[in-house]
Amino acid sequence: MEEQGTEAFQCSNGLSLPPDNVCDFTDQCGDKSDEQQCSNYERCDFENGLCSMTQDQSLQPGWTKRNGMAGHSLPFYDHSGNMSAHFLSLVSKVDSTSSDLRSRVFLPTNIQHACQITFYYFSSQVGGKLRAGLQTTCGGPVRHLWQNTAGLQNQWERTVMSTQSNQKFQVIFQGQIVSTPEQDEVIAIDDISFSSGCLPANDEILPCQETLNTEQELCHLDSRLCNFDSTDEGLRLCHVCGFESDMCDWASETSAGRISWMRTKAREVLALESIPQQDQSSDDEGYCMWLGAKDASTLNHLDSKAYLNSSVCHCLGKRCHLQFYYSMENSVLRVGLYSNKVRRNLHLFQIH
């Protein structure tokens, strides 16, 4: 990491501040003069959403905007002690959870002034990891900038980091936590600010690499490629479908008069009591695929089954994974492989 210039900021009351204390959502001067001229700073306090930041698509619950009065998990206030102020939190209830938060795309930095990033973070466990990195191409490697150390738990901490890049770039915050039987674990992040040396680009995404690394394992879904990059310490999801807008590349296969898979959400079919009241991310407005019958007579068939088929996949590596969430009762769910439209005698998954 490169250090930014050390020119001090002069407060209206005569105090001097280091440059990383300016426009960081905290009144460091005591008269708020360090928070008054921030129009050249790209920053977000999450009061009105993610601002220009985005989350990577994933089937796992990701960063969620909330305040200290929402829910029963820490933290119960933002870094300034305000219970009603919002921040982003990542909570793990079962197994492990990870999610990436991306900044907007920035222009290459100026030689004289590095891009400086200031933010506050909270962690409820020593094993919770929050990393920050820099990426210059879509799907490319993430250059390490910072990682939280075994500091104070259950307490907000302030971090400042600086970087320079001769290419357009995004800053990526990668959160990863492992749940414990005793309680929900959480990582939170708040008040991210980029200095005036971080110049926003008009691009919405980073430029992509023209060639693929042939040594990387590939999972090819008809019209798109996905790489599994071991530097991310986890699998990338090459084709994600939460069924929020449509069925993506999935199709329901059924015979006439039989039950079929239906894209729906609970509030649209209140009479169907077997539909979960929320999707897997606890969103009562979220969509899912449901298989059932409005009329019990439809279920009189001894062979009441329906298929939900993906598009054709070509897995060229050993790490092609399928991940999904399910809820069911009085049913059997099987997942299998088809080859040349013929079902192979291989059940990947079955539950009664």
pLDDT tens figures, 20-39: 788 888 888 988 888 888 88
What pLDDT does residue 114 have? 77
The token pair that represents 343 in the structure block: 């079902």
How many angstroms separate the CA atoms of 129 and 98, rounded?
9
pLDDT in tens, 38-74: 887 899 999 988 999 998 766 566 888 888 887 677 8
Domains of the chain: 9-194 (2.60.120.200), 218-351 (no CATH)
In the prediction, which pLDDT does 1 show? 35
CA separation (Å) from 44 to 27, 84, 86, 104, 284?
16, 16, 11, 11, 27
Rounded to whole angstroms, the Cα distance separating 156 from 191 reads 11
CA distance 237 to 323: 9
Whole-structure pTM over 0.85, yes or no?
no
> What per-residue confidence (pLDDT) applies to 237?
47
Phi-psi region of 126 (alpha: psi -120 to 50; beta: other; left: phi over 0): alpha
Q: Report the pLDDT value the prediction gives residue 243, as an integer from 0 to 100.
A: 80
Nearest to 134 by CA among 109, 157, 112, 156: 109
pLDDT at 60: 62
State the Cα–Cα distance between residues 207 and 299, nearest whole angstrom.
52
What pLDDT score does 68 carry?
86
Q: Taking Cα atoms as reference points, which of 252, 226, 243, 190 lies closest to residue 317?
A: 226
Spans in the chain with pLDDT lower than 50: 1-5, 211-237, 271, 302, 345
Q: For residue 233, is it left (φ>0), alpha (ψ between -120 and 50) or beta?
A: left
